[in-house]
Structure 1
Amino acid sequence: MDHRYIPNNRHRESVSSSSSRTYYNKTFEDTTDLFLFACAHGDYMLVHRLLIDDEVEADVSNKMVKSALQLAIENEHFEVVKVILDKIPYEKFRDALLLAIYLGHTNIADFIMNHPTYRTHSGGFLDPTHPQAYDDSQFSSDITPLILAAQYNRLQIVHQLLSKGEPQVRLSAYKGLSSEVYIALTYPDPILQAFELSHELRTLAKVEHYFHEDYEKIANQLSIFVTRLLDNVRGHEELEIVLNKTGRPNEEKYENLARFDLAILYQEKAFVSHSNCQQKLMEKWYENLSAIKNAHLTKRLLFYLAFIICLPFLLLAYYFFPKSKIGSLCHQPNLKLKAYIVSYLAFISLIIASSYFSISHLQKTKYLSDYDSEIYNYYIKHIYENIQLRNDLISLNENEHDSNNDNDTDSLINCNISLRFMEPNPFQIAIFIWVIGFVWQEIKQIFGSGIRVYLTSHSNYVDCLMNILYILYFIFLYSTMVLTRTSMNTFHSSVYWDAIARYNETSDSEKEHLLTKTYHILYWINADRYYWNSGDSQNLAEAFFAMGNVASICRICFLLPIIGFVGPLQ
């Protein structure tokens, strides 16, 4: 049967004046009544036409205060529900979803939860404690979709709500869990619980943007709660226990400033900057150096200068006698930071000196004639003056580089050859020692704090990147030197020169072997970069060295804002 409405033919003249319409042999004097009747009976086309023509509002109700959407849901008219949902405000979604759950219309409930409007608001509704919350709702203000679905065993809907997460229910739960009284009376370690809960709330605030301010507010309240607990600490012994507590809440396990480290990890600035924490931190900072703490600035500078001068000897003493007084002095936090800064500045100085030395060292490049006159004479006689060998090398170069430029190979066998460096300079050796120390330090940190804690610090990523780049630099640098040294050792071999002297009389297979070997030698001893391959290991080494230098300078970015994490140290 056609459900479309038609004008009353018997009263055609009065249609325009009274707007009466006939539908299912029933006359409607009001368009709203017609619209509600169509929603209740599932006439999708009529509902759609009335809404498109703006003849009626979607959010209308009958005399029983039942809205058009409620009528469509009660009669399970899915297509009508889809049309009306696009026309109503988000505030009406709650009742629609609850009604669909109550009646067990899973397909309608699923569509509402996946509707773009519902997903935009992340399924959040008014706080039930709000004085005007859901005054006209047929459901109690404390009823949520998850509670109702669980109450009526709507398993599919419960599963979907849990998989998507119902933000308002979760927010209400966190409000209860974050109660200061509840935490203080329930948990044996309220500070640890507050830290973990605050960290979890701040993580949720980044994910659920609709409730971002609510989660941040609760997290800040927890931070204030922890500082109030610190205000009640009496005496140094209690403060020592609070700041050194670690492990599980029921474990009596203590480590030096373990709770303080945890506060830095969770970025609890209120806890870190608390006067009690700062006082304890100051005591640790000048531990075993009480005379320096109140000394004049000049005396302190002289002491630190003497420490820096004696630092290499102190480190050696610490290495062999770690438990001695000198060893404990190297463990002192204040001096340890000074030693770290000095080491870092020394490393930066080595990088600058190495770069400058490399530039000046290039001007002192040795030539084959200066390196060994005997080998040079062999080279001139058996390679440079051998026309057939030179032509074969040119052909091999064209095959290797796909080039017709004969000058590339001529340069390899010209009257003299500039030599690559075959051993590292002192600055490269010193940088290598420093890098080994950096790598060992990172390994100790990983095993000491654990890989998870290690990965939470952004500075560790920069340190790892720097170490990897420098390791790659030394791998390519030393491999180049090894190849150069190996090629030069071949030049020192009398067997090689005897074979080259008979090059024109040898078989084709032996010629090919000698030709490849000679080309390899000439390439790896030649220091003229113009004739190197773009992927030459020396070029790669210097590229990694440059990137490593940038990464090492970037470490300063993590040292400068340290005051923002550990407090003012008043």
Structure 2
Amino acid sequence: MKLLNVFVAHSNVQQLLASLWYEGLPGFRRKNMVLQALEIVRIGMLFPFFSIAYILAPHSVVGQTMRKPFIKFICHSASYFTFLFMLILASQRQYLEKVFGESTATEDDDLEYTKRGAKPSLVEWIILSYVSGLIWSEIKQLWDVGLEEYARDMWNVIDFITNSLYVATVALRVVSYYQVQNRPGAAIESRNIWDDWDPMLISEGLFSAANIFRCVRKLYNFPMFGRSKAFLR
């Protein structure tokens, strides 16, 4: 490992890595910090377009752009921060309508999101799509490297636990929804008289725990911000 670090730290290797890292962004390193920041923001805001293009036409010019290391890193980071932002919005349910400007939230609106068996909001549907993608990514990784190699990386184990918590959250929300369908009066019961093991309460607790794991997971990516470590992985 020490020899590998010496090899990567060599000036010629660093020059090669730099050219590969910034591939697809000619002249990026010659720009000042302000222009570089604007370029990063521009790419980050276009990540939905790049992602859709890569899914629909991976061999197209735009699809191949997503394969460039630095652009891929920016899009992945922008997507992940968007996911974290959605999690923050979901945890502040009473302010969702104000944020999206649909209407002015009242006390009754606030209570609507906390009722037993409440239907998922728009933000929760977006979170569900993100979680589905994360689960699919973990399945692909597990298939490629095998169970033994997958389990050696503790972060993979944490990802598995986090995704399991999200799946359990969805399952419990479904159980709560069907409880209300079978007993409509349960939807208007005060939360103060709910059972301690009510599916809705447990799902909220699991969702909070999963959010903590997901935020901690992002901290692992910050030390990876460097072309040498990113290429080594």
Structure 2 length normalisation: TM-score?
A: 0.81
CA RMSD of aligned residues (A): 3.0
Which amino acid counterpart does residue 543 of structure 1 have in structure 2? G
Please state whether the residue corresponding to 1:291 is helix, strand or coil.
Answer: coil
Match of 1:535 among 188, 193, 197: 197
Whose helix fraction is larger, Structure 1's or Structure 2's?
A: 2
Unaligned runs of 5+ in 2: 97-104
Q: How does 1:169-184 map to 2 (within 5 A)?
A: none
Match of 1:562 among 220, 224, 230: 224
Percent identity between matched residues is: 24
Question: In structure 1, what is the Cα distance between the partners aligned to 2:115 and 2:212?
Answer: 29
2:47·2:75 contact (CA, 8 Å) conserved in 1? Answer: yes
1:308 matched residue in structure 2: 44
1:344 matched residue in structure 2: 80
Structure 1's 445 and 279: CA in aligned 2 closer, same or farther, altered over 3 A?
farther
Unaligned runs of 5+ in 1: 1-194, 196-222, 228-267, 368-417, 489-521
Structure 1's 320 and 419: CA in aligned 2 closer, same or farther, altered over 3 A?
closer
2:62 matched residue in structure 1: 326
Is residue 170 of structure 2 the alignment partner of residue 474 of structure 1? yes
Q: How many residues align?
A: 221
Offset of residue 358 of structure 1: 4.5
2:23·2:68 contact (CA, 8 Å) conserved in 1? Answer: yes
2:18·2:227 contact (CA, 8 Å) conserved in 1? Answer: no
Structure 1's 277 and 464: CA in aligned 2 closer, same or farther, altered over 3 A?
farther
Question: In structure 2, what is the Cα distance between the partners aligned to 1:560 and 1:366?
Answer: 36
Is residue 99 of structure 2 the alignment partner of residue 363 of structure 1? no
1:473·1:542 contact (CA, 8 Å) conserved in 2? Answer: yes
2:188 matched residue in structure 1: 526
Match of 1:446 among 142, 163, 172: 142
Which amino acid counterpart does residue 550 of structure 1 have in structure 2? I
1:294 matched residue in structure 2: 30
Write out the 4+ residue segments of structure 1 that deviate beyond 6 Å after TM superposition.
359-362
Question: In structure 1, what is the Cα distance between the partners aligned to 2:11 and 2:149?
Answer: 26
2:99 matched residue in structure 1: none
Q: Deviations over 1:361-389 (max 9, x none)?
A: 7932599xxxxxxxxxxxxxxxxxxxxxx
Please state whether the residue corresponding to 1:318 is helix, strand or coil.
Answer: helix
Q: Deviations over 1:176-233 (max 9, x none)?
A: xxxxxxxxxxxxxxxxxxx7xxxxxxxxxxxxxxxxxxxxxxxxxxx4xxx4xxxxxx
Question: In structure 1, what is the Cα distance between the partners aligned to 2:137 and 2:74?
Answer: 16
1:422·1:482 contact (CA, 8 Å) conserved in 2? Answer: no
Please state whether the residue corresponding to 1:343 is helix, strand or coil.
Answer: helix
1:544 matched residue in structure 2: 206
2:159 matched residue in structure 1: 463
2:116·2:188 contact (CA, 8 Å) conserved in 1? Answer: yes
1:273·1:568 contact (CA, 8 Å) conserved in 2? Answer: no
Q: How does 1:127-526 map to 2 (within 5 A)?
A: 223=2, 227=3, 268-358=4-94, 363-364=107-108, 420-488=116-184, 522=185, 524-526=186-188
Offset of residue 457 of structure 1: 2.5
Question: In structure 2, what is the Cα distance between the partners aligned to 1:429 and 1:463?
Answer: 20
Which amino acid counterpart does residue 537 of structure 1 have in structure 2? P
Offset of residue 541 of structure 1: 0.1
Q: Relative CO higher for 1 or 2, CA cutoff 8 Å, sep ≥ 6?
A: 2
Question: In structure 1, what is the Cα distance between the partners aligned to 2:48 and 2:230?
Answer: 31
Q: Deviations over 1:471-494 (max 9, x none)?
A: 111111122123213434xxxxxx
CA radius of gyration, larger in: 1
Q: Deviations over 1:70-106 (max 9, x none)?
A: xxxxxxxxxxxxxxxxxxxxxxxxxxxxxxxxxxxxx
Question: In structure 1, what is the Cα distance between the partners aligned to 2:8 and 2:17?
Answer: 9
Offset of residue 421 of structure 1: 4.4
Offset of residue 326 of structure 1: 0.2
Question: In structure 2, what is the Cα distance between the partners aligned to 1:482 and 1:564?
Answer: 49
1:414 matched residue in structure 2: none
2:117·2:174 contact (CA, 8 Å) conserved in 1? Answer: no
Which amino acid counterpart does residue 167 of structure 2 have in structure 1? I
2:22·2:70 contact (CA, 8 Å) conserved in 1? Answer: yes
Offset of residue 310 of structure 1: 2.2
